[in-house]
Amino acid sequence: MVLSQRRFFTLITIKKQKMSSKQFNVAIIGLGFGAEFIPIYQRHPQANMYAICQRTEASLNEIGDKYGIETRYQNYEDVLNDPEVDFVHINTPIPNHAEQSIAALKAGKHVACTVPMATSVEDCETIVNLCKETGLKYMMMETVVYAREFLFAKEMYENGDLGKIQFLKASHQQDMDGWPGYWPGLPPMHYATHCVGPVLGLTKGQAEYVSCFPSGTIREEMHECYNSPFAIESTHIKFKDSDLSAYIYRSLFDVARQYRESFEVYGDKKAMEWPLIEGEPLVLHTAKKPEPEIPEKVECPDYAHLLPDEIAPFTTGGVYGGDDGEEHLSFTQGAGHGGSHPHLVHEFLTALAEDRDPFPNAVQSANWTCTGIIAHESALAGGELKRLPEFTLS
């Protein structure tokens, strides 16, 4: 690596020492997956875990009592009318993301929102415009770009170990049978940020246009839910102002595959490939070695050292869901999201403290989300090239 170990950890120490002491009041909206973040905010030095919001009173009080949170709301509008709330962290079902984000920005609240940003191009544009008009911060809380595997690739990229990036590939395959009612029949590319994010995020690239092909069919009873019969959608992404392209593929129903969020990057010096089976090591390929020596299996390091000491333990699991060990299905099925949750929290809080855009910001989040939305339009048109809207490229 370019940085010596001593210098690297010195920089981390300096960064921690410079951390602002200002605290921000967070209200978590939705307490299924959202409850995973409560203990992280409670221990982060820049956060005050101020309020929670859940429509079901019994669930609201159960979580509130468990974590000792006094301010509780059943109505989202009441959260937005509370002047003590600095930002909302939205963890509600996908159809609610855009509406709730837009309402929060109009109410003067910063927004952290789980993926995807929205389900329409128009709503993505509204969020981008509101951020420009108000100066408020928006961050789509994309787990993969803060997973340890991505951080490992990012470190290699920034140190020059990968060399010139030549190609990127990612996938997200998941069996969604049994999930809530809005999931059946969802077009795979409408929930694509887990594979769009890493391929664009590594080089901070932007998708300019896409071509997507559908393959296979899901069960007929799901076809009418979104007027989409497709089992798999695979997309080529052309980067703006770059010689790069990327390939991504998604499936949600009727495909035999263990859960997999994968990310692969190919440089002219080294390449990194995700394992085919969960729990196996990453594979690094090094150019110009004798053929049998080109690949090597490597254990991905953890990146808890990038975080404040108070939340560093949250990268390794075992602390999610409290002492009873219960964890949300998205966490257990997603293999802990690569230890990303505390990194997401830390990025948004430090962005607020430093008055800078978080990563990904509103425009980047829109570009990643619209890549999937536009890709599905391409699939419906038999793979026709479709361009991303200009507001996602600014």
- Summarize pLDDT for 236-273 with one digit per residue, the tens: 999 999 999 999 999 999 999 999 999 999 999 999 99
Copy the structure tokens of residue 77.
Answer: 């509008």
- Omega before 116 within 30 of 0, i.e. cis: yes
Give the CA dihedral 366, 172, 155, 265, nearest 10 degrees: -100
pLDDT at 316: 87
Position 134 pLDDT exceeds 60: yes
* pLDDT at residue 289 is higher than 80: yes
Q: Pick 179 or 200 by higher pLDDT.
A: 200
Q: What is the pLDDT of residue 181?
A: 86
| pLDDT given for residue 249 in this prediction | 98
Cα separation values, 75 from 37, 57, 136, 171, 234, Å: 20, 10, 23, 37, 39
Q: What confidence score (pLDDT) does residue 187 get? A: 97
* pTM value > 0.85: yes
pLDDT in the model for residue 13: 45
pLDDT at position 1 is: 34
Confirm if 303 and 314 have CB atoms less than 8 A apart: no
pLDDT score for 330: 44
* Average pLDDT over every residue of 194-215: 98
**Using N-to-C axis directions, what is the helix angle for 193-201 and 148-159, rounded to 10°?**
20
Q: Which pLDDT belongs to residue 323?
A: 47
pLDDT in the model for residue 394 = 82
pLDDT tens per residue across span 303-335: 999 999 999 999 986 444 444 445 544 444 444
pLDDT 10s digits, 207-235: 999 999 999 999 999 999 999 999 999 99
Q: Is the pLDDT of residue 54 over 90?
A: yes
Query: What's the pLDDT score for residue 360?
Result: 98
- pLDDT at res. 326: 52
User: What mean pLDDT do residues 62-68 have?
Assistant: 97
Calculate the average pLDDT of the chain.
92
Check residue 327 and give its pLDDT.
52
Domains of the chain plus CATH, in order, are 144-307+365-392 (3.30.360.10)
Instruction: Give, rounded to a whole angstrom, the gap between the first and last alpha carbons of the chain.
Output: 33
Query: Would the pLDDT of 392 be above 70?
Result: yes
How far apart CA 250 and CA 232 sit, in angstroms, is 6
pLDDT of residue 6: 39
Instruction: Find all residues with CB under 8 Å of 11, minimum gap 6, and list them.
Output: 3
With beta carbons less than 8 A apart as the criterion, state whether 141 and 113 touch: yes
Q: Which residues of 299-332 are buried (b: 16+ CB within 10 A; e: fewer)?
A: ebeebbebbbeebbebbebebbbeeeeebbebbe
| From 55-69, 154-168, 318-332, 350-364, the region with the lowest mean pLDDT | 318-332
User: Which is higher by pLDDT, 325 or 88?
Assistant: 88
pLDDT tens digits for range 4-26: 343 444 444 444 445 567 899 99
The percentage of residues in the chain with a pLDDT greater than 90, rounded to a whole number, is 87
**Which secondary-structure segment (H or E) carries 42?**
helix 38-43
Q: Under a CB-based contact definition with an 8 Å cutoff, are residues 330 and 321 in contact?
A: no
